[in-house]
Amino acid sequence: MDFAFVGFDWSLLLQRIFDALFNSAIYSSLALALVIIFRSTGLLNFAQGEMATFSAYVAFVLLAGAAPGVTGGGLASWIGAPLVTPLAIGGAVVIGIAAGAATERVLIRPLRNAPELALVNVTIGILLALNSLMGQWWGTGPRVFPPIFPSSPGDHIDIAGARLRFSTVGAWLVLFALLTVLALLLRYTRAGLAFRAVSIDSESAALNGIRVGPTLMYGWALAAGLGAIAANMSANSVLLEPTMMVRVLVYAFAAATLGGLDSPKGALVGGVVIGLSQTLIPAYVPFIGFELSVLPALVAMVVVLIVRPAGLFGTQRIERV
């Protein structure tokens, strides 16, 4: 069926939307990780992208095993690597969760009473340290990460002349599964209920017997796991290298800010808005090329924040005067 109308290629528009939705799922996943930490601590974790990339490298090692030139291959072979893709990614996510918890316990908790700017500087230091470490261990050159979803030329669904790739469907299924698991953890587990209490008012939670430190560590672990999954989903499409998630983190920050820095639902919606604007606006606005694809995301964020400073779904702060 021909969907062209008055010279406009509707099939191409639908194809671009489908392509944008894959990026949207990645942005939403990483934005969700940023929201988890900000909601509990009020801190923007600039190292979230590098922490996620480190987990992707761990998965790569577990997939490669004792391959020549792959640092960590000896340890990987000791645990039985090379592993099949689901096990390798699952192992990397578990290691990422442990690393996130350790980061909170060792580097963040001792500075809990420090100014927020000092804590932000700590996360920037973690970013630089992890980036250098990954470059030293695995090199700065790009590596081909195996796809985790079917990605051969025939792996797609034809819809109105456009191709919805299985990788896009898979990324959104994973994202919805993460949101479901996160909602169940926060609503029905003891640690999740404690995390919600600390997110609302840490001082009142402490007075009611909730251990704030371990609860915040729980939040960092959750965020690290979400970031690890986002990095493993995107590693095949952007190639695995130490700076792989830098640009993704910029868009994830924009998505989280647009949706509301304390709103998981806002992270989802913000990721969709940023992903679509990044792809569609440069394609149909002549003076904005794909080299300036970050500009539409910035404009969308600024427009929303002018109307709603807390973001689309963020909690409005009420101050007494």
pTM equals: 0.90
Q: Does a cis peptide bond (omega within 30 degrees of 0) precede residue 82?
A: yes
Q: What's phi and psi for 113, nearest 5 deg? A: -90, 5
Q: How many CB atoms lie within 10 A of CB 120?
A: 14
Where b means 16+ CB within 10 Å and e means fewer, 174-194 reads bbeebbeebeeebeeeebbeb
Per-residue pLDDT, 237: 86
Terminal CA-CA length for the chain: 63
Spell out the CATH class of 10-307.
mainly alpha
pLDDT in tens, the chain (321 residues): 444 455 678 889 999 999 999 999 999 999 999 999 998 888 889 999 999 999 999 999 888 765 656 666 665 666 666 788 888 899 999 999 999 999 999 999 998 888 888 899 999 999 999 999 999 988 888 888 888 888 888 889 999 889 999 999 999 999 999 999 998 988 888 888 898 888 888 888 888 888 988 999 999 999 999 999 999 999 988 889 999 998 899 899 989 999 988 888 999 999 999 999 888 888 887 777 666 777 777 777 788 888 888 888 877 765 544
Per-residue pLDDT, 10: 83
* Domains in the chain: boundaries: 10-307
Please state whether 162 falls in left (phi above 0), alpha (psi between -120 and 50) or beta. Answer: beta
Per-residue pLDDT, 80: 60
Per-residue pLDDT, 321: 47
Q: What's phi and psi for 148, nearest 5 deg? A: -100, -10
Q: Which two tokens stand for residue 151?
A: 């990605």
Say if CB 36 and CB 219 are below 8 A apart. yes
Distances (CA, A) of 193 to 177, 190, 202, 218, 315: 20, 5, 13, 11, 19
Q: What's phi and psi for 197, nearest 5 deg? A: -65, -45
- Would you give the distance in Å from CA 108 to the centre of its chain? 20
Dihedral angle of Cα 108, 111, 113, 114, to the nearest 10 degrees: -110
Q: How many CB atoms lie within 10 A of CB 4?
A: 11
Say if CB 223 and CB 36 are below 8 A apart. yes
Task: For residues 198 and 201, give the distance between their C-alpha atoms in angstroms, rounded to a whole number.
Answer: 5
Per-residue pLDDT, 69: 61
> Which residues are within 8 A (CB) of 281 and not within 5 positions of it... i.e. 6 or more apart?
288, 296
Q: Where are the alpha helices (DSSP H) in the chain?
A: 10-41, 48-64, 73-78, 85-103, 116-138, 166-188, 190-200, 202-207, 212-238, 246-259, 264-284, 294-307
